[in-house]
Amino acid sequence: MILVLLCAVSCASSRSSRAMRKAERMMEKQERQAQKEYEDAKTAHYKHQAPKTKKMIREDRRRARRLNRNLRH
């Protein structure tokens, strides 16, 4: 009787762990999809900017990289 109970408990735990892994994979997939949508929206926003604004954004990125490089050392 104890053997049957032990077998039933082990089977139930493996099912729950499989369900948890499946749920985790689904959440990871949703996170990747959300990140992709964010990047697409960011790219679309950048494309709609005026040329002067794009130039200013590039200069700001370069300036930030230089400043951050100096802060690390």
Residues 66, 72: Cα–Cα separation, whole Å? 10
**Amino acid sitting at position 22:** K
Q: What is the pTM of this model?
A: 0.56
Residues 11-29: tens digit of each pLDDT: 656 677 888 899 999 999 9
Taking the mean position of all CA atoms in its chain, how far away is CA 56? 28
pLDDT tens digits, 33-49: 999 999 999 999 999 99
What backbone torsions phi and psi does residue 41 show, to the nearest 5 degrees?
-65, -40
- According to DSSP, residue 48 is labeled T
